Amino acid sequence: MSGSRAAIRYAKAVLSLAIDQKSTDAVQSDMRTITDTIAESTDLSQMLQSPVVKASDKKAVLTHVFTNTNAVTVNLIDTLIANKRLAILNDVAVSYTHLYDEMKGMQVATVTTAVALSDDLKSKVLAKVKELTGKEAEVTNVIDESIIGGFVLRVGDIQYNASIANKLNNLKREFTLN
């Protein structure tokens, strides 16, 4: 819990600095690159979490992996190293992305389906989310074959479950109660 609170504090500080330097978009791009790269590389993730690897080695790896990053992002990495908090770099990047999206009035709509969404369905989902929330959204499609069919839409704290698996579970629950 304390790691996530610290990550949010660092993210707020980075966002404030990026706003002052008019570089919020560039830092957002860096943060997405950081989260994507750490998610794709288990070696990088383990290296960041390892207490055995020296901070200087971690910094060398990060500067090699994340070239052409904004000065604010480089400053964040240096600050995390100085405070021995480099293990929360991914959490800070995720928190920054959420804060940035809130600032821009954007939100992420996660749609879980049994098969990949087509472009037509994706645009319909975007229109429905805008109608429901009044905000623009970015659609993330998660494929989960266990829902059998239909979809599960999650926007912020709202979840709408129209999956076949959910309907079957509801039927099963009704039959067992009667």
Q: Is the pLDDT of residue 178 over 70?
A: no
Percent of the chain with pLDDT over 90: 53
| Mean pLDDT of the 21-49 span | 94
**Other CB atoms within 10 Å distance of the CB of residue 47:** 17
Q: Taking residues 84-108, what's their average pLDDT? A: 90
pLDDT at 160: 84
> Looking at the predicted structure, is the pLDDT value of residue 54 above 90?
yes
Decide if pLDDT at 156 tops 60.
yes
Confidence of residue 81 (pLDDT cuts 50, 70, 90): very high
Domains and CATH numbers, the chain: 2-102 (1.10.520.20), 106-177 (no CATH)
- Using the predicted structure, report yes or no on whether residue 3 has a pLDDT greater than 60: no
pTM for this entry = 0.70
Residues 6 or more apart whose Cβ sits within 8 Å of residue 166: 147, 150, 152
Q: Angle at CA 20, nearest 5°, toward 59 and 156?
A: 80
Q: How far apart are the first and last CA of the chain?
A: 43
131, 101 contact by CB (below 8 A): no
At residue 92, the pLDDT reads 96
Q: Torsion angle of alpha carbons 137, 29, 76, 98, nearest 10°?
A: 0
Higher pLDDT, 16 or 131: 16
CA 27 to chain centre: 15
